[in-house]
């Protein structure tokens, strides 16, 4: 069985497998460049898209800081099964596999079994996008093969009949981010689909950061700088974090006063995480190659 490898946080750029799209995505240097075989490809084009995507992934020259990924079709569908067979035959190394419509840990483990002999270093991530999945987060997130989770706002909103607004998605986003933190796995927020609205994206990305997500999807390279900026601590946040850590260090790890407030271990840990993100661009709880 594949051992879980933690997925990167930060920016996930999701694009169709059309010619030139992967090269354009890699030039933008996202943390994950993900080709999509599911929603962006109509049923009549999936066989061709599968071949094109695997050819592009196999031939790509990848920046050191970027992980290549593939969103397959749901494993319970014919095209999902074809995707897994083709991916296993391709023998790609260190590929990130995003599995849609996940509603149980067993689905992830079946994907891992299909890939374990040939897809060396695969990272398996779950796309959480149905009401049933929200009710089964502990089961799904406890899977030993799971390396990360992504919230699928569009499908979730369609399934529940809610609007894609901050208030209507608050419970789902909060539940996913909290459950992911409890299980020590990275959580990535849904893309913001209106790429002509940078202020809306900035607001949405900051909300995702505040809820505990460690990254966010994007549907256009122009969205990446805004997402990076939203997830990077501000100068004020860094200054406050340094003051908290300094006060705690001077107090020998005991309760201390910093900036007019008493700070104990939880606030000190949060401050150290802010400094780690500012220096490294990653969350210390999910940074690294394996769980």
The predicted pLDDT at position 288 comes to 40
The predicted pLDDT at position 2 comes to 63
CATH code for the structural domain at 10-231: 3.20.20.60
Q: Where does residue 183 rank: exposed (0-12), middle (13-18), buried (19+ CB within 10 A)?
A: middle
Q: Check residues 135 and 288 and name the one with the higher pLDDT.
A: 135
Q: Check residues 28 and 263 and name the one with the higher pLDDT.
A: 28
Tens digits of per-residue pLDDT, 232-264? 876 666 666 676 666 666 666 555 556 666 666
User: CA 29 to CA 64: how far, in whole Å?
Assistant: 9
**How does residue 290 score in pLDDT terms, banded at 50, 70 and 90?**
very low
Phi and psi, residue 52, nearest 5°? -65, -45
The DSSP annotation for 177-241 comes to HHHHHHHT--EEEPPP--TT-HHHHHHHHHHHHHHT-SEEEESSGGGHHHHHHHHSPPHHHHHHH
Let me know how long the chain is.
291
Tens digits of per-residue pLDDT, 132-176? 999 999 999 999 999 999 999 999 999 999 999 999 999 999 999
The predicted pLDDT at position 287 comes to 42
Q: How many CB atoms lie within 10 A of CB 157?
A: 18
- In the chain, the percentage of residues whose pLDDT exceeds 90 is 72
The predicted pLDDT at position 229 comes to 94
Sketch the domain layout of the chain as residue ranges: 10-231, 235-280
For the chain, the farthest-separated pair of C-alpha atoms sits apart, in whole angstroms, at: 66
pLDDT over threshold 50, residue 289? no
């Amino acid at each position: 069985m594949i051992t879980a490898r933690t997925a990167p946080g930060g920016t996930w750029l999701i694009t169709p497998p059309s010619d030139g799209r992967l090269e354009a995505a890699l030039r933008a240097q996202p943390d994950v460049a993900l080709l999509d075989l599911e929603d962006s490809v109509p049923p009549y084009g999936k066989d061709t898209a599968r071949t094109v995507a695997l050819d592009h992934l196999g031939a790509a020259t990848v920046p050191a800081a970027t992980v290549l990924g593939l969103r397959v079709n749901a494993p319970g569908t014919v095209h999902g099964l074809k995707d897994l067979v083709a991916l296993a035959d391709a023998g790609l190394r260190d590929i990130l596999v995003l599995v849609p419509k996940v509603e149980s840990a067993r689905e992830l483990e079946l994907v891992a079994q299909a890939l374990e002999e040939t897809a060396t270093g695969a990272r398996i991530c779950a796309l959480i996008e149905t009401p049933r999945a929200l009710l089964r987060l502990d089961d799904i997130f406890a899977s030993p093969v799971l390396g990360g989770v992504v919230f699928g706002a569009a499908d979730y909103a369609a399934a529940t009949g809610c609007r894609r607004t901050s208030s209507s998605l608050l419970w789902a986003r909060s539940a996913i981010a909290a459950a992911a933190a409890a299980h020590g796995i990275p959580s990535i927020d849904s893309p913001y689909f209106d790429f002509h609205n940078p202020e809306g994206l900035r607001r949405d990305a900051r909300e995702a950061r505040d809820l505990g997500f460690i990254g966010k999807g994007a549907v256009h390279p122009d969205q990446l700088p805004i997402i990076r900026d939203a997830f990077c601590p501000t100068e004020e946040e860094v200054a406050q974090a340094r003051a908290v850590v300094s006060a705690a260090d001077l107090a020998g790890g005991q309760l201390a006063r910093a900036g007019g407030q008493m700070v104990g271990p939880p606030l000190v840990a949060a401050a150290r995480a802010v400094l780690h993100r500012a220096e490294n661009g990653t969350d210390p709880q999910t940074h690294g190659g394996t769980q």
